Amino acid sequence: MRIQVVTFRTFLPVTLGLAGLAACGSNRNAPPPKVPVSVARVERRAVPYELAATGTVEAVRAVDVVPQVNGTILRVNFREGDEVGSGQVLFEIDPRPYRAALQQSEAALLRDLTQAQSAAREAARYRELATTNTVTQEDYEQRQAAADGAAATVRSDSAAASIARLNLEYATVRAPISGRTGRLLLHEGNVVRAGSDPLVSIVQIRPILVRFPVPAVNLPALRKRSGEELVVIAMPSRDSASAVQGVLSFVDNQVDTTTGSVLLKARFPNNDKGLWPGEFVGVTLVLGMQLDAVVVPSAAVMQGQQGSYVFVVNDDGTTSTQPVTIERTIDSLTVLAGVPTGALVVTDGQLRLTPNAKVDIRTAPNTESQGVR
């Protein structure tokens, strides 16, 4: 009886182990489960040819108003933030030293001019006397040299008077351009030095520019439309701001090798002052309509170490990776090259996919639901 019990306990684990091994072998032979995915079909359609970028607003012209003469500021004729016109008087520097210098130079000019006229008359008289041998040729040449020296002194005095007159004009500081003034840096009573103390900055905000980069791959399209007036739309990031429209005014003559982009500028009238120098704005450059663009939903495009790619569903229900070249993105669609029209691409579930994996398509292949502006 004891032997039978031992025999039963010995063969029971063996029997269970064999059953477990049979079950494991059955699981290993089973095919891997299908990966559920969503797909869309690659389509060729007409889409707007637009380039989106982030731009920076910059003034057409901006200057720092710097005094040209030394002196004390007697009067400031504007308030910070005022819009001023070209030639408008902004500051008045004490003009008395420069007025006195002008009077002094003009008096010296008048004195030397009188002496030069007298020397010229004397030289002319000696020239006539020299023809009759009343005086020697040497006497005449001395008088002529004195007259020439006096004339040179007059020219020097005239230049000095011009400089003095210019310094007196510089004592009245005028706006070099039309625009909006910034913070006042020096006030009444401050002593300024010529060329070293900025008084205020002025920026021109009407019209205004927006600079923005676009990938260099778009240069052929830009060159093709070089004679056209291309519309550029700028959207400030501020709340309640509205989009403004301008035109492309500049394409840089070289590509930035560090970013692979080319710099563009657009000009905006900015009559409502909606764009402010230094702020960032969203920019859309409208190049027209592309009638035969190959598009897929942007969710289908993946990024890897070798570049951009998509998962393509093959006829046998497996997937494979396909490298693609992205041209641009429009809303939720990506315009690309490298995948044929009509192919099925995976738009959701790519993270669980590997090449040759079987897929279970959960949604009908359709790209029409992806809107285009």
Q: Is the pLDDT of residue 10 over 50?
A: no
pLDDT band of residue 372 (cuts 50, 70, 90) is very low
At residue 8 the predicted structure's pLDDT band, cuts being 50, 70 and 90, is very low
- Spatial distance between the Cα atoms of 92 and 233, rounded to a whole number of angstroms: 43
CATH number of 68-91+173-203: 2.40.50.100
Residue 183 reports pLDDT greater than 90: yes
Is residue 18 pLDDT above 60, yes or no?
no
Give the burial class of 25: count Cβ atoms within 10 A of its Cβ; 0-12 exposed, 13-18 middle, 19 or more buried. Answer: exposed
Kindly report, as residue ranges, where domains of CATH 2.40.30.170 are found in the chain. Answer: 33-60+204-373
**Residue-wise pLDDT tens digits, 312-358:** 999 888 999 999 999 888 878 999 999 999 999 999 988 888 888 99
**pTM for this prediction:** 0.64
More confident site: 127 or 4: 127
CATH 1.10.287 range(s) for the chain read: 95-170
Radius of gyration of the chain (CA): 42
**Residue 310: both structure tokens together:** 């998509």
| Comma-separated ranges of CATH 2.40.50.100 domains in the chain | 68-91+173-203
pLDDT digits (tens, 9 = 90+) for 134-144: 888 888 889 99
Q: 56 with 266: CB under 8 angstroms?
A: no
Q: For residue range 209-234, what is the model confidence (pLDDT) as tens digits?
A: 999 999 998 898 899 888 889 999 99
Instruction: Please choose, from the candidates 302, 287, 285, 278, the residue with its C-alpha nearest in 3D space to the C-alpha of residue 355.
Output: 302
Q: 137-170 and 96-131 are packed helices; what angle lies between their axes, rounded to 10 degrees?
A: 160
In CATH, 33-60+204-373 is 2.40.30.170: yes
- Quote the pLDDT of residue 5: 45
- Domain 95-170 part of CATH 1.10.287: yes
Confidence of residue 366 (pLDDT cuts 50, 70, 90): low
Residue 136: predicted pLDDT: 85
Confidence bin at 197 (pLDDT 50/70/90): confident
Spatial CB neighbours of 156, under 8 Å, sequence gap ≥ 6: none
- Mean pLDDT over 195-212 rounds to 93
Residue ranges of alpha helices (H) inside 235-358 are none
The residue ranking higher by pLDDT, 24 or 332, is 332
Instruction: Tell me if residue 172 falls in helix, strand or coil.
Output: strand
User: What's the CA gap between 221 and 332, in Å, rounded?
Assistant: 22
- pLDDT, residue 135, reads 82
Q: How confident is the model at residue 362 (pLDDT cuts 50, 70, 90)?
A: confident
| Token output for 72 | 């004390």
Mean pLDDT of the 223-252 span: 89
User: What is the pLDDT, as a whole number, of residue 288?
Assistant: 86
pLDDT at 174: 96
pLDDT band at 132 (very low <50, low <70, confident <90, very high): confident
The predicted structure's pLDDT at residue 30: 64
The predicted pLDDT at position 133 comes to 83
Q: pLDDT digits over 56-81, tens only? A: 999 999 999 999 999 999 999 999 99
Among 57, 60, 51, residue whose Cα is nearest residue 280: 57
Check whether 27 has a pLDDT greater than 70: no
Residue 43 clears pLDDT 60, i.e. is over it: yes
pLDDT at residue 227, rounded to an integer: 84
